[in-house]
Amino acid sequence: MPPIFLQFLVSLIAILALFALARAMKLGGQPKLTDKGSVAFAAGEVEDGYVAERVAIARGGDAALARNAEGRIMVIKRHGNRFAGRVLTPEAKVREEVDAIIIDCDDVRFGKVRLSIDDPGIWVDAINRL
């Protein structure tokens, strides 16, 4: 058996073993925002001390909006296997579509966020009042 083939087999076995170990430890995966608590936790990770009073979770759990007691609104979206967010400023733009709202928080690196939420008009008005 040629040494290169043996090296290939050993490497393949090692990769499969690492994959099995990662699955057993439940690493990776696709986190979801499922309730107010999970949105509040994600918002607190984005900005220390941010306490979400009202939330709207997008269908599918990939994104959410959170408003605190001071009226500041944060948009949160999944980024890899974690969540990233931005507190919206008056420069933020929002537009309503038939089944969703599109938020542009004026940060090119963060991008636009599409949220399919219930009662989108309430959130559009709140964002436009910033």
Q: Give me the pLDDT at residue 81, please.
A: 83
Evaluate if residue 15 carries a pLDDT over 80: yes
Mean pLDDT for the chain?
A: 93
Q: Percentage of the chain surpassing pLDDT 70?
A: 100
| Mean local confidence (pLDDT), 9-22 | 95
Within the chain, how many helices (H) and strands (E) appear? 3, 7
| Mean local confidence (pLDDT), 73-97 | 94
Distance, in Å, from the CA atom of 104 to the CA atom of 123, rounded to the nearest integer, reads 14
